[in-house]
Each structure stands twice: as structure tokens, then as C-alpha cells.
């Protein structure tokens, strides 16, 4: 049975005369992982920005849990349950991993410093911080200062801090960007781990097509701002339009 968490209807944005996202209507199933692929400039990040509220569409609408959120601000959308990875890129370099995640958990729970005397709350925050570090395989770095982490470990820490917001939906914009080849599998494991809990919906922009095929329940393909295809990985990989427009070239020049 369909359980749609997010839906766009004719989502369109025009910059000057350029239609960056053109009449895109998609549905995203709850607790699934959907990826957005497409060549550079296809409109992937722009589409994301209209879901998170950073950009307002020229035309069309966005529904989250059946509610029209098209006119809501990014903060209002986060409160409703849409978390975006770059919102928490403020990792404090001179705090440990644990301290960074604990701060993110506290901010979500709205616990102020003076409430720390409340031992039970402190324990809850503490426990949750460790759970989140565990989900991103960073427990062994809990007491390491963030400044000393590799780029890949920093991205894992950011994901833990995003998870701390407890949003039902996660928007991940190229989590492997800037990562060394050896670091990519660990991010893949982190995302797979989150997906397998099946209590969050993940929308992922990613250029590494093998990773996308491995992780995704569904893939949408953008090309010149338009939705070229939308379906399960097996269907996308066999789609001739996708192959000629995108995948052939991508396999040759990516990752």
C-alpha cells in the first residue's frame, strides 16, 4: 500500500529566463531511500532547495505528510520533519565528537545548560548521543576532537548531528563529495545502516552511480530540469532514455 510522505506537484523554478526545474511531480514513499541522479546542472540541488525551503518555486507545490508546505520557511519545515544535511555543517572543531553530537541532541530537546542538574535528562542526552555515534560508526572516536577527524569521519559526524534533529525525512546532498575513495564505503555503510532501520525517509543526491544502485529503493532522474525517469533501480538502469541521456556517459567519467 502507498504511504506517501512527500509529494511535489508541477514543481518549477525559473532563474531569469532559465527553467532550472521544470514541472516535476514525484511521490516519495515513507521509510524508503530515494536517490536523485542527473548530469551536472540538471537541477538536483535546486530541486532539493525547494523541498527544504531555501528556494520558493515559481510554480507548483510541495506536500509533506499531506500538508501543503510550499510557503513554509526552512525552519518551519525542519520542525515538521524535513532535515537537510548542510543545516548542521557547524561542527565545532575543538569539541570532541561526543560533545558535538550531545550539543545537537540538546538543541533538539531544547534542554538548557541549567537543566543539567536534572540527572535523568542528562542520562537520556548522553545515551542518545552515544546511540547516534554508534549509528555512524564513530563510537571509537567519541573522545577525538572534531578537528582531528578525516574528511570522511567529519561527514559521518555531520550525519550523526543531522540524525539528532530527529526529523522523519533526511535530505542528503552528495555525502561523499570531496571524499577519498577509501572513505566512500564507510559513508555507504552509514547510510545503509540508517535505511535499514526503516524509520526514516532518505532523499539522496549522489553522483556515484554504483552507490546509488546499491542503496536506493527508488531513483528519479533529472535531465535539463525535467523528470526523465522515476522508478526502482532495475527499471532505471534498463531505461533507454536514461542510458542515452545519462548513464552511459556517467559510467565512463564518474567515480
Least Å from the CB of residue 95 to ligand ATP: 30
CB of 176 to ligand ATP, least distance (A): 13
**Interface with ligand ATP (CB under 6 A), residue from 8, 35, 46, 106:** 46
Shorter beta-carbon distance to ligand ATP: residue 73 or 148: 73
* Using rule CB under 6 A, residue 84 touches ligand ATP: no
Q: How many CB atoms lie within 10 A of CB 40?
A: 6
CB of 5 to ligand ATP, least distance (A): 22
CA distance 122 to 130: 12
Q: How far is the CB of 70 from ligand ATP (least distance, A)?
A: 18
- Alpha-carbon distance of 176 to 193, in angstroms, equals 16
Of 17-36, which residues contact ligand ATP (CB under 6 A)? Answer: 20
Q: Does 38 bind ligand ATP (CB under 6 A)?
A: yes
Beta carbon nearer to ligand ATP, 164 or 204: 204
Q: Judged by CB under 6 A, does residue 41 bind ligand ATP?
A: yes
Q: Compute the Cα dihedral for 50, 236, 175, 252 and give only its sign.
A: negative
15 binds ligand ATP (CB under 6 A): yes
**40 belongs to the binding site for ligand ATP (CB under 6 A):** yes
Question: Does 44 help bind ligand ATP (rule: CB under 6 A)?
Answer: yes
| Site size with ligand ATP, rule: CB under 6 A | 10
Work out how close the CB of 249 gets to ligand ATP at its nearest, in angstroms, rounded to a whole number.
13
* Contact call for residue 178 and ligand ATP (CB under 6 A): no
Please state the closest distance from residue 67 (CB atom) to ligand ATP, in A: 25
Q: Which residues lie closer than 8 Å to 102 by C-beta, 6 or more apart?
A: 125, 126, 129
252 sits near ligand ATP (criterion: CB under 6 A)? no
Contact call for residue 57 and ligand ATP (CB under 6 A)? no
Query: What is the binding site for ligand ATP (CB under 6 A)?
Result: 15, 20, 38, 40-46
Amino acid at each position: 500500500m502507498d504511504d506517501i510522505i512527500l509529494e511535489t506537484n508541477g514543481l518549477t523554478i525559473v532563474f531569469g529566463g532559465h527553467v532550472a526545474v521544470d514541472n516535476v511531480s514525484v511521490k516519495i514513499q515513507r521509510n524508503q531511500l530515494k536517490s536523485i541522479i542527473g548530469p551536472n546542472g540538471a537541477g538536483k540541488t535546486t530541486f532539493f532547495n525547494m523541498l527544504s525551503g531555501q528556494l520558493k518555486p515559481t510554480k507548483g507545490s510541495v506536500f509533506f505528510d499531506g500538508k501543503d508546505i510550499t510557503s513554509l520557511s526552512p525552519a518551519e519545515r525542519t520542525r515538521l520533519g524535513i532535515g537537510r544535511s548542510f543545516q548542521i555543517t557547524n561542527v565545532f572543531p575543538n569539541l570532541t565528537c561526543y560533545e558535538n553530537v550531545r550539543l545537537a541532541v540538546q538543541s533538539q530537546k531544547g534542554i538548557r545548560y541549567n537543566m543539567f542538574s536534572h540527572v535523568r535528562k542528562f542520562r537520556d542526552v548522553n545515551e542518545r548521543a552515544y546511540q547516534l555515534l554508534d549509528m555512524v560508526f564513530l563510537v571509537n572516536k567519541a573522545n577525538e576532537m572534531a578537528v582531528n577527524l578525516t574528511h570522511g569521519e567529519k561527514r559521518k559526524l555531520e550525519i550523526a548531528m543531522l540524525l539528532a534533529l530527529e526529523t522523519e525525512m533526511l535530505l542528503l546532498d552528495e555525502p561523499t563529495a570531496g571524499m577519498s575513495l577509501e572513505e566512500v564505503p564507510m559513508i555507504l555503510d552509514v547510510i545503509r545502516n540508517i535505511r535499514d532501520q526503516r524509520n526514516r525517509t532518505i532523499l539522496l543526491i549522489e553522483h556515484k552511480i554504483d552507490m546509488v544502485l546499491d542503496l536506493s529503493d527508488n531513483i528519479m532522474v533529472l535531465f535539463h530540469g525535467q523528470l526523465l525517469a522515476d522508478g526502482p533501480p532495475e527499471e532505471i538502469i534498463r531505461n533507454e532514455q536514461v542510458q542515452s541521456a545519462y548513464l552511459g556517459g556517467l559510467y565512463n567519467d564518474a567515480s
